[in-house]
Amino acid sequence: MTKIETILGTLPEAVSHTFGQGKPANYIPALAEVCGNKFGMAISTAKGRDFIVGDAEEAFSIQSISKVFSLSLAMHYAGEKVFERVGVEPSGNPFHSLSQLEYENGIPRNPFINAGALVVADILLSNLNSPKQDFLDHIRSISKNLDIQYDERVFRSEYDNGQRNAALAYYLKSFDNIKNPIAQVLDFYFYLCSLNMSCLDLARASRFLADDGRHPFKDKSVVSPLQTRRINTLMMTCGTYDEAGEFAFHVGLPCKSGVGGGIVAIVPGKMSLCVWSPELGKKGNSLPGMQALKTFVEQTGLAVF
């Protein structure tokens, strides 16, 4: 057994004291119903080895983790132009905040807040022939899992509770920072949020970020090495809502979280990780997940600083 495998094996026990301290997301029933004390973690190394522990093969709602994959694909197609329409600064505001957009003239602070992700979804709509199918094919390809699907119930609930996202999209459109019909942008954005993947799928799918942008299973690139660095930088500074400073301080790895309780983390050049546990802290990040990443980094020394 490798050192990594041994440390991974200790994590379920090491985080167990955090169960019951947070709450699963409750803005839609499908997320609120998930059993709180699930815990899984997967690691995929740049050399192509996978390690898993706990519920690492159970699919869950990836929610905002999708923003990493949509940004990467948008950068693949549109390159630097993405950053003419979206900034690269942490927002310091809640992920669905409207107010900042007004005084910053419709340019979202970064691609990982909802306004930024809506612009990224719009860029993809302009570049993909069959946006949903093309995106799904891409995700299936980089995770090597043809069974990945979206969750129709989560998708519908995102619509039913999507008033703020709709408001953001209309607002962006008033600044001409949405080019496609708003209904299509929202539909695609909700679709991205409602994909179901496991920790193992997500660790594999994000391995290109630990490997200079190389597709994990094919002889081609997902993004360039420079784009890889930029995505990792954005994950470090903006990937975990209003808690990105805490994550950089305590974990020290580029991370992207979602309210489904998943967190993807990258050790550049070495490995990609995904941890999942549904109970969230006040800022919307998985509490056991954050604890697991902290412990992992303490024990392996694998932080970027």
Determine which one of 44, 61, 64, 198 is catalytic: 64
Which residue lies nearer to ligand GLU by CB, 235 or 271? 235
* Cβ nearer to ligand GLU, comparing 55 with 151: 151
CB-hemisphere CA count at 13 Å for 119?
A: 27
**CB 168 to ligand GLU: min, Å:** 9
> Which helix (H) or strand (E) element contains residue 218?
none
| Cα separation, 229 vs 269, whole angstroms | 10
Residue 67 is a catalytic residue: yes
Among the listed residues 253, 272, 216, 275, the one whose alpha carbon sits nearest the alpha carbon of residue 53: 275
d(CA 243, CA 200): 25
Measured in Å, how far apart are the chain's first and last C-alpha atoms?
A: 27
Q: Please say which residue, 192 or 273, places its beta carbon nearer to ligand GLU.
A: 192
In angstroms, the CA 199 to CA 213 distance is 20
- Per the residue annotation, which of 189, 194, 272, 294 is the catalytic one? 189
241 counts as catalytic: yes
Query: 55 vs 158, which CB is nearer to ligand GLU?
Result: 158
Q: Which of 38, 67, 173, 256 is catalytic?
A: 67
How far does CA 108 lie from the centroid of its chain?
17
- Please pick, among 15, 91, 194, 241, the residue that the annotation labels catalytic: 241
Is the distance from CB of 120 to CB of 82 less than 8 angstroms? yes
User: Looking at the chain, how many residues does it have?
Assistant: 305
Q: Minimum CB separation from ligand GLU for residue 3, in Å?
A: 32
Of 63 and 91, CB closest to ligand GLU: 63
CB of 126 to ligand GLU, least distance (A): 21
* Cα–Cα distance for residue pair 289/23, rounded to 1 Å: 13
Q: How far is the CB of 194 from ligand GLU (least distance, A)?
A: 8
> Does the annotation mark 259 as catalytic?
yes
Closer to ligand GLU at the Cβ: 177 or 286? Answer: 286
Q: CB of 284: closest distance to ligand GLU in angstroms? A: 6
Whether 142 contacts 222, CB under 8 Å:
yes
Residues 239-268, buried b or exposed e (16+ Cβ, 10 A)? bbbbbbeebbeebbbbbbbbbbbbbbbbbb
Three-state secondary-structure class, residue 32: helix
What's the closest the beta carbon of residue 114 comes to ligand GLU, in angstroms?
5
Which parts of this chain interact with ligand GLU (CB under 6 A)? 63-64, 95-96, 114, 158, 165, 193, 258-259
Catalytic residues: 64, 67, 189, 241, 259
